[in-house]
Chains A and B, each alone.
Chain A
Amino acid sequence: MRKGKLYLVSLMMLLIMSLFLAACGADDAETSSSEPSNDSSSNTDSSTTDNSSSSTPQVLVFGRGADSVSLDPGIVTDGESFKVTQNLFETLLNFGEQDTTINPGLAKEWEVSEDGLTYTFQLQEGVKFHDGTDFNAEAVIKNINRWKGGKEEDFYYFNSMFKAEGEDIIKDVTAEGDYTVVFTLSRPQAPFLKNLAMSPFGIGSPTAFEAAGDKFGDNPVGTGPFKFTEWKRNDSITIEKFEDYWQEGFPKLDKVIFRSIPDNSARLNELMAGNIDLADGINPSDGKTVEGDSTLQLIERPSMNIGYLGLTNTRAPFDNKLVRQAVNYAIDKQAIVDAFFEGRAEVAANPMPSSISGYNDAISPYPYDPEKAKSLLAEAGYDGKEIELWAMPVPRPYMPDGAKVAEVIQKNLEDVGIPSKIVTFEWATYLEKAKNGEADAFMLGWTGDNGDADNFIYTLLDKDNIGSNNYAYYTNEEVHSLLIQAQSETDENVRNELYKKAQEIIHDDAPWVPLAHSTPLLAAKAGVNGFLPHPTGSDKLHNVSME
């Protein structure tokens, strides 16, 4: 039996050794140091740009939560697609670096007529698309006509922004010479310029989209600082420096690789292991870990969102305004922000964040006042029936941990005598059921598209949007007429007053409990410079460089 024992021990050793060797036997390219681990000596990658300088190519690996759907910005609606197209395409106008002010883009100047119906744009000259096609007035017209002629389900954003009651807001687009484009509108549209700056309206090469048809998204061609290289679906998208980019000295990077890493913790692990350079979707609870690591930097995205608890206004007990107000007094918003947003959020008073023009700062959040809540409930004759409290099943920037926040809300409600049961569904089901008005109280949120008040208040709380984004089924005729008026009011001051008035009424009606405006977090290696995250979530990377 001694031989047997010997065999047993040697087998164990063999197993342990083989695991150990396999783990550390290969070369050490993936050390956890912060130097880039691309092996320049054996770089036979055919798509590497020909750098005249002798330095190694600058490659940024950007880790994110999901893959893009398509790279044709006109047909998609998801942020992960825009994150990439924002760097391949350019829009006529740009948002500010970290705000939603209007700045020149492919159009260097513009004029608006007195009646707000004619917009004349002077275009940048000498701009080329990645395929060598010239950018000019004709290219702009072809893009607009492509979106206009497409079906609503194809060019969703174009239709949602530039159509009203089935009518085209952009009546006509004409060229005056090669570099002047004139838009004629059928009615004034206050956020017209802001809309044009949105990612979906990136100008594509007519040569390319006419040839590719609906396959344009597989081989996108724009005028942006980077051009498309390769897409391994569900894995990575590679874009590289466009040598003929019209803005001298940009981009600073040679290549950007967007990697899909679905799990938030796994993404942070990859960053800490040095395999990616930049990661978005960092949990607030991991913020301190990143700050405590000298090889990393924590980056805050300017907030342009709202997380709220919607109260379905057509269902008892929330069909009674007093009950809705009571719930607003009952919930301790500050405690939620401190506990689950790690303080990286501001308590919300209105349905939109304070950075948006037209925000009413005379309104303050309902204070935490359980006694007031109880007396309102008594006044309303609330019967003490249990309600369903819907908890969000997925983390979102505006709601990092739906389940935990729901537990706090449940306790707050219980304290004032509203018993509740927490329920949750898979995300697609959750949205569907909430949209059908099947929830009593539900958590949800919104990230703005263009930094305009209309994109928050009208989109989320106007009666026109019941059955789409007005999940609370809130209807108020006075609010509706204010919002419709504001849509075509071109005088900024008058328009802001209309929104302020609407917010007052909404505050009193209390269709929701506005909870928080969060500051979404990203993290990067210490050597990543010049990265300015944009509140819309679509980041331009032309100015990013790496040490």
Chain B
Amino acid sequence: MLHYIGKRLLHLIPVLLGMTFLVFLIIRAIPGDPAQVILGQQATADAIAALRLKLGLDNPWYIQYFDYLKGIVTGDLGESLRTRQPISSEMWPYLAATFELAFFAMIIAIIVGVNAGIVSAWFQNSWFDYLAMVIALIGVSMPIFWLGLMEQWAFGIQLGWLPTSGREEVRDPVTAITHFYLIDTLWQGRFDQFIVVLKHLFLPGIALATIPTAIIARMTRASMLEVMRSDFVRTARAKGQKMFVVVYKHALKNALIPVLTVVGLQTGMLLGGAILTETIFSWPGIGRYIYEAIGFRDYPVIQSGILIVAFLFVMINLIVDLLYTVIDSRIKYN
């Protein structure tokens, strides 16, 4: 097992290296000059040339690339061209914000998606099944920005139940320790703030959870239907087991493998794919951070941001692969 994990981690190196190289080339291939963007529309040609020199943008690309790699090896993710802040210290609050939102969304997606999928399979072709699958189809096809704005309008403005942007009540700001606000507020015993933070998570969480919920529901249903037709389910039923026990104990465990795969992939997607949700709900997360960096051609931030997200993505996949062995003891990695 440890041997397997070690091998997998070694495999990561060429993958991530190839990715840094690709990202490096692609962002330099798009037109637009960071120096121009940083100095704004007013910039003179001289000022732009001087800034390019200062930022090392006039070096040949391979020298820039090796400088960047050298930095990464020593744990230095570089400095933002725009804010002139070291990225390693700048990145964490954004990453934490996205983690908090993504996990919240994923928990919603798993609870709702898995249960809806199970019930749909259990009562195949019932009204619930049809309704759930129609909703899932709508969920997959709904544009997130539209859903987000509608949520804000309905729950924020019309009903006044939930806040519609940001992570906290700015008039009573959270003192950040870990930057996971749910943890920070509990840590400081500020339960009032904890509730406020939770409320801020709700609307963006639901918006972000929509697509994975729908995908998980469909996957669970398909996978459950297959398992429900198998011999052992019939045997269990014949032995007089309650349907509930059969479904949730015997069938679910066997149906979970493909579901887990989807959960892993979707979690990875949420980390990078939260840009729209983060923009609509003014959520200061990593997606928006990278997106804005692209607008400003902030090369180091784009490179390091994508590197971190990619690293997390492959790590999540590794964890999912390891979880298979927990769920299904027939799977062994030697």
Surface stretch bound by A, among B42-50, B261-269, B306-314, B315-323: B42-50
B295 touches A426 (CB 8 A): yes
Inter-chain CA distance A489–B302, complex, in Å, is 47
Judged by a CB distance under 8 angstroms, whether B164 is at the interface is yes
In chain A, what residue has the closest Cβ to B156?
Answer: A273
Judged by a CB distance under 8 angstroms, whether B334 is at the interface is no
A235 touches B284 (CB 8 A): yes
Q: List, in ascending order, chain B residues with CB within 8 A of A152's CB.
A: 46-47, 50
Q: List, in ascending order, chain B residues with CB within 8 A of A15's CB.
A: 112, 115
* A 415-457 binary contact with B (CB < 8 Å = 1; else 0): 0000000000111110111010000000000100100000000
A4 touches B160 (CB 8 A): no
B36 touches A153 (CB 8 A): no
Judged by a CB distance under 8 angstroms, whether B71 is at the interface is no
Whole-angstrom distance between the Cβ of A154 and the nearest chain B Cβ: 8
- Highest count of chain A CB atoms <10 Å: which of B37, B51, B164, B289: B164
Within 8 A of A (CB), among B164-179: 164-167, 169-173, 176
Judged by a CB distance under 8 angstroms, whether A248 is at the interface is no
Whole-angstrom distance between the Cβ of A40 and the nearest chain B Cβ: 10
B282 touches A260 (CB 8 A): yes
* A 7-30 binary contact with B (CB < 8 Å = 1; else 0): 110011001000000111011111
Q: List, in ascending order, chain B residues with CB within 8 A of A263's CB.
A: 279-280, 282
A156 touches B39 (CB 8 A): yes
Q: List, in ascending order, chain A residues with CB within 8 A of B36's CB.
A: 428, 431-432, 435
* B 152-169 binary contact with A (CB < 8 Å = 1; else 0): 110111011111111101
Q: List, in ascending order, chain B residues with CB within 8 A of A44's CB.
A: 190
Inter-chain CA distance A446–B40, complex, in Å, is 11
B156 touches A11 (CB 8 A): no
Surface stretch bound by A, among B1-9, B15-23, B196-204, B228-236: B196-204
B170 touches A61 (CB 8 A): yes
* B 121-163 binary contact with A (CB < 8 Å = 1; else 0): 0110010100000000000000000001100110111011111
A259 touches B199 (CB 8 A): no
* A 258-269 binary contact with B (CB < 8 Å = 1; else 0): 011111011001
B289 touches A234 (CB 8 A): yes
A269 touches B171 (CB 8 A): no
Surface stretch bound by B, among A31-39, A305-313, A535-543: A31-39
A266 touches B152 (CB 8 A): yes
A37 touches B171 (CB 8 A): yes
- Highest count of chain B CB atoms <10 Å: which of A31, A70, A468: A468
In chain B, what residue has the closest Cβ to A70?
Answer: B83
Judged by a CB distance under 8 angstroms, whether A219 is at the interface is no
The answer to whether A428 and B37 touch (CB under 8 A), given A8-B123, A38-B171, A270-B164, is yes
Whole-angstrom distance between the Cβ of B231 and the nearest chain A Cβ: 22
A43 touches B172 (CB 8 A): yes
Whole-angstrom distance between the Cβ of B202 and the nearest chain A Cβ: 6
**Option from B41, B47, B167 in Cβ contact (under 8 Å) with A235:** B167
**Option from A28, A32, A427 in Cβ contact (under 8 Å) with B157:** A32
A449 touches B82 (CB 8 A): no
Within 8 A of B (CB), among A192-218: 214, 217
Inter-chain CA distance A3–B243, complex, in Å, is 9
Judged by a CB distance under 8 angstroms, whether B239 is at the interface is no
Q: List, in ascending order, chain A residues with CB within 8 A of B126's CB.
A: 8
In chain B, what residue has the closest Cβ to A161?
Answer: B42
Q: List, in ascending order, chain B residues with CB within 8 A of A428's CB.
A: 31-33, 36-37, 295-297
Interface size on B, as a range, is: 35 or more
**Option from A12, A160, A232 in Cβ contact (under 8 Å) with B128:** A12
**Count of A interface residues, CB-CB < 8 Å:** 79
**Option from A78, A159, A265, A269 in Cβ contact (under 8 Å) with B40:** A78
B153 touches A32 (CB 8 A): no
Judged by a CB distance under 8 angstroms, whether B26 is at the interface is no
**Option from A269, A275, A459 in Cβ contact (under 8 Å) with B42:** A459
B284 touches A8 (CB 8 A): no
Q: List, in ascending order, chain A residues with CB within 8 A of B155's CB.
A: 23
Judged by a CB distance under 8 angstroms, whether A101 is at the interface is no
Inter-chain CA distance A272–B126, complex, in Å, is 42
The answer to whether A275 and B45 touch (CB under 8 A), given A26-B195, A38-B172, is no
Inter-chain CA distance A69–B39, complex, in Å, is 11
In chain A, what residue has the closest Cβ to B51?
Answer: A153
Inter-chain CA distance A156–B160, complex, in Å, is 45
A259 touches B282 (CB 8 A): yes
Inter-chain CA distance A471–B53, complex, in Å, is 24
Judged by a CB distance under 8 angstroms, whether A42 is at the interface is yes
Judged by a CB distance under 8 angstroms, whether A288 is at the interface is no
B42 touches A77 (CB 8 A): yes
Judged by a CB distance under 8 angstroms, whether A236 is at the interface is yes
The answer to whether A468 and B43 touch (CB under 8 A), given A70-B84, A153-B51, is yes
Whole-angstrom distance between the Cβ of B207 and the nearest chain A Cβ: 12
Whole-angstrom distance between the Cβ of B61 and the nearest chain A Cβ: 18
Q: List, in ascending order, chain B residues with CB within 8 A of A467's CB.
A: 45
A257 touches B83 (CB 8 A): no
A469 touches B32 (CB 8 A): no
B31 touches A36 (CB 8 A): no
Judged by a CB distance under 8 angstroms, whether B238 is at the interface is no
Judged by a CB distance under 8 angstroms, whether B180 is at the interface is no
The answer to whether A266 and B296 touch (CB under 8 A), given A23-B202, A29-B196, A234-B94, is no
**Option from A266, A427, A469 in Cβ contact (under 8 Å) with B149:** A266
Q: List 23 A–B pairs whose Cβ atoms lie within 8 Å, in order of A's numbering.
A: A7-B244, A15-B115, A23-B162, A24-B159, A42-B172, A44-B190, A77-B42, A153-B51, A232-B176, A234-B94, A234-B284, A235-B166, A236-B170, A236-B173, A238-B170, A261-B282, A262-B279, A266-B279, A266-B281, A428-B31, A428-B33, A433-B31, A469-B41
Measured CB to CB, the residues of A under 8 A from B are 3-4, 7-8, 11-12, 15, 22-24, 26-33, 36-39, 42-45, 59, 61, 66, 69-70, 77-78, 151-153, 156-157, 159-160, 214, 217, 230, 232-236, 238, 257, 259-263, 265-266, 269-270, 272-275, 425-429, 431-433, 435, 446, 449, 459, 465, 467-469
Which 9 pairs show the lowest CB-CB distances between chains A and B? A428-B32, A32-B160, A153-B51, A38-B171, A77-B40, A234-B284, A235-B284, A261-B282, A273-B156
